[in-house]
Chain A
């Protein structure tokens, strides 16, 4: 009798000890819409508070849009639950140790001033609210100021929710929260730019174009740090072609081409919309790659 090499210690060693949660495309879109609604509100509110005469008229369009985006986001959040009829159970406790609990409360708190702002703006349009009165002006200001920190919290918690988990990739992504929050502001700037161009508010558009350019450049910092952290898991689970496509779409299509377009094409509405679509697509691709990471089986080399 002859024996081969030492026995393998195999057993369960080739298996990942963790189990990925059933978070799939619905969650990718939830993370995406979270950035869309919070970013739009943040940029519109900062603009209106800083330069009300420039951003006030376009912000009137931004809040209803942010409200609709929030409704979509909340719907996705509820639909993703295993038992959607128990969504309100999230509100029975407030746990600082749980980013999901903090995020739920931030989203709830963010929805209140946003809803009131939309109600005031709609009321003004239909003549139920005197839009030019001092009282309404002050109420709007208070709502904007109240909405800012909770909208910011609603954006900031999302990445931390993933990074404080035991899942491969997510657990290593110290900059996921940083990327998502800065990306939300980029999204908001792109959305408000589109609204400004489509509604003919040229002064706002003229300020938002350089702002978007600056934010795209600044956003490369957390994105680069995040991709650096995720590189081992990304290369372990995605093929070289998949990664090339992902980086081409997110960095090339989502940052570099929009930067060139902003510098070259000016305020052409079609070009601005296309630029914004590219920015949002790049952000979506990154979120897709990251959310789906634990579901990707490691490649057999």
Chain B
């Protein structure tokens, strides 16, 4: 049986539209192009990622697959000083980032005995704390009501037919308001092209019926891709399973909405506080305050204008 990848390779690819000829035509095309709209594709079931951090082995195959598929440059061989984390954070050239959290007790040398001999009493009085190594492959959360999408003034950020948050690279003008709006620090403006970048959830692959590159490459099924509702059900079963296997700290982050934030279409199974993984403890959609902020701005301005007018009218007569 031929793999889906092999089938896709043999299908005809769409050609780029013809380029305008002449300087004037180029300028006109450049000015009018962003205002053209194509037909919206038919809606599909919402898709997303479920990342089970308990089975992540930190191999970074997801990072490499993402870079390879999206033709992203390497970030250099940097020594971050933080475990095996060498890319440091999500960036315009790293749309996946594997985080490493080393939770090990400092081991102290045994205290010298009064007679100068090494004590044979090597067992600690109390059992040592559970040393562990947490790993998590971080990515855009594809929020159900994404602050970046609400912020974008050009309409470059939209929800595609799979309900994924997608940046249209040919529309983004690099205002960076989405960077300011994202509570997860995902979106980054590239110093190379000036536009903002983040995970596309492999929109191009999805359109061809393929699984995103990172999920395809993940050797432990830590990154799972599929219809979000199915993923949520699978994740809840996994949490119950972990609870029954004496991992009481396992829980889902972002699988359901909170008072201040919607559910995430890329959600996580964690075993420590969100902050340990660099995630906000209680993500907050900044737009909750927008109406009130406008009201305060308008009232303050009107108050000042009213005071000004009062002085003019009272003292000017």
Asked whether, in the complex, the Cβ of B34 is within 8 Å of the Cβ of A174, the reply is: no
Given the interface pairs A11-B101, A17-B278, A185-B304, the reply to whether A2 lies near B173 with Cβ below 8 Å is no
Q: Is B81 an interface residue (CB 8 A)?
A: no
Q: Which residues of B contact A15 (CB under 8 A)?
A: 278
CB distance from B234 to the nearest CB of A (A): 26
Q: Is A93 an interface residue (CB 8 A)?
A: yes
Q: Is B99 an interface residue (CB 8 A)?
A: yes
Q: Which residues of A contact B172 (CB under 8 A)?
A: 82-83, 86, 89
A82 vs B300: C-alpha distance in the bound complex, in angstroms?
Answer: 33
Query: Among A43, A46, A176, which residue has its beta carbon within 8 angstroms of that of B293?
Result: A176
Q: Is B107 an interface residue (CB 8 A)?
A: yes
**Which bucket holds chain A's interface residue count?**
35 or more
Asked whether, in the complex, the Cβ of B176 is within 8 Å of the Cβ of A23, the reply is: yes
A167 vs B179: C-alpha distance in the bound complex, in angstroms?
Answer: 9
Binary flags per residue of A184-205, CB closer than 8 Å to B gives 1, else 0: 1110010000000000000000
Q: Is B35 an interface residue (CB 8 A)?
A: yes
Given the interface pairs A23-B176, A82-B176, A215-B308, the reply to whether A166 lies near B286 with Cβ below 8 Å is yes
A218 vs B89: C-alpha distance in the bound complex, in angstroms?
Answer: 45
Asked whether, in the complex, the Cβ of A21 is within 8 Å of the Cβ of B180, the reply is: yes
A42 vs B312: C-alpha distance in the bound complex, in angstroms?
Answer: 14
Query: Among A3, A5, A93, A210, which residue has its beta carbon within 8 angstroms of that of B315?
Result: A210
**Which of B1-9, B182-190, B215-223 binds A?**
B182-190
For chain A residues 242-275, which have a beta carbon within 8 Å of chain B?
A: none
Q: Is A20 an interface residue (CB 8 A)?
A: yes
Given the interface pairs A12-B278, A92-B171, the reply to whether A166 lies near B181 with Cβ below 8 Å is yes
**Which of A98-106, A129-137, A282-290 binds B?**
A98-106
A90 vs B171: C-alpha distance in the bound complex, in angstroms?
Answer: 9
For chain A residues 69-124, which have a beta carbon within 8 Å of chain B?
A: 80-90, 92-93, 95, 97-101, 104
A136 vs B128: C-alpha distance in the bound complex, in angstroms?
Answer: 87
Asked whether, in the complex, the Cβ of B103 is within 8 Å of the Cβ of A2, the reply is: no
Asked whether, in the complex, the Cβ of B278 is within 8 Å of the Cβ of A1, the reply is: no
Q: Which residues of B contact A219 (CB under 8 A)?
A: 304
Q: Is B131 an interface residue (CB 8 A)?
A: yes
Asked whether, in the complex, the Cβ of A182 is within 8 Å of the Cβ of B300, the reply is: yes
Asked whether, in the complex, the Cβ of A186 is within 8 Å of the Cβ of B277, the reply is: no
A103 vs B293: C-alpha distance in the bound complex, in angstroms?
Answer: 14
Query: Among B99, B156, B175, B284, which residue has its beta carbon within 8 angstroms of that of A171?
Result: B284
Given the interface pairs A164-B293, A174-B289, the reply to whether A4 lies near B188 with Cβ below 8 Å is no
CB distance from B290 to the nearest CB of A (A): 5
A236 vs B280: C-alpha distance in the bound complex, in angstroms?
Answer: 18
Q: Is A181 an interface residue (CB 8 A)?
A: yes
Q: Is B259 an interface residue (CB 8 A)?
A: no
A137 vs B230: C-alpha distance in the bound complex, in angstroms?
Answer: 68
CB distance from B182 to the nearest CB of A (A): 6
Q: Which residues of B contact A1 (CB under 8 A)?
A: 107, 110, 122-124
Q: How many A-B residue pairs have CB under 8 A?
A: 281
Q: Is A32 an interface residue (CB 8 A)?
A: no
**Which of B13-21, B66-74, B193-201, B204-212 binds A?**
B193-201
Query: Among B128, B180, B276, B312, which residue has its beta carbon within 8 angstroms of that of A166?
Result: B180
Q: Is B294 an interface residue (CB 8 A)?
A: yes
Given the interface pairs A11-B99, A47-B312, the reply to whether A82 lies near B182 with Cβ below 8 Å is no
Q: Is A170 an interface residue (CB 8 A)?
A: yes
Asked whether, in the complex, the Cβ of B189 is within 8 Å of the Cβ of A82, the reply is: yes
Q: Is B313 an interface residue (CB 8 A)?
A: yes
Asked whether, in the complex, the Cβ of A13 is within 8 Å of the Cβ of B183, the reply is: no
Given the interface pairs A21-B176, A82-B176, A159-B293, the reply to whether A181 lies near B154 with Cβ below 8 Å is no
Chain B residue at minimal CB-CB distance from A166: B183
Given the interface pairs A46-B308, A181-B298, A207-B311, the reply to whether A163 lies near B289 with Cβ below 8 Å is yes
Asked whether, in the complex, the Cβ of B103 is within 8 Å of the Cβ of A46, the reply is: no
A93 vs B304: C-alpha distance in the bound complex, in angstroms?
Answer: 32
26 of the cross-chain contacts (CB-CB < 8 Å) are A3-B108, A4-B105, A4-B107, A7-B104, A10-B101, A18-B185, A21-B176, A46-B305, A80-B175, A86-B174, A87-B173, A89-B173, A92-B171, A97-B150, A97-B290, A100-B177, A152-B301, A156-B298, A164-B181, A165-B286, A177-B296, A185-B304, A211-B308, A214-B308, A215-B307, A221-B300
Beyond the given A159-B297, A185-B305, could you list 6 further A-B residue pairs with CB under 8 A, ordered by the A residue number? A97-B151, A160-B293, A163-B293, A174-B292, A181-B304, A218-B303
Which residues of A pack against B, CB within 8 Å? 1-13, 15-23, 42-43, 46-47, 50-51, 54-55, 80-90, 92-93, 95, 97-101, 104, 152, 155-157, 159-167, 170-171, 174-182, 184-186, 189, 206-207, 210-211, 214-215, 218-219, 221-222
Which residues of B pack against A, CB within 8 Å? 30-31, 34-35, 89, 99, 101-111, 122-124, 126, 128-129, 131, 134, 147, 150-156, 171-177, 179-190, 193-196, 272-273, 275-280, 284, 286-287, 289-290, 292-294, 296-301, 303-305, 307-309, 311-313, 315-316
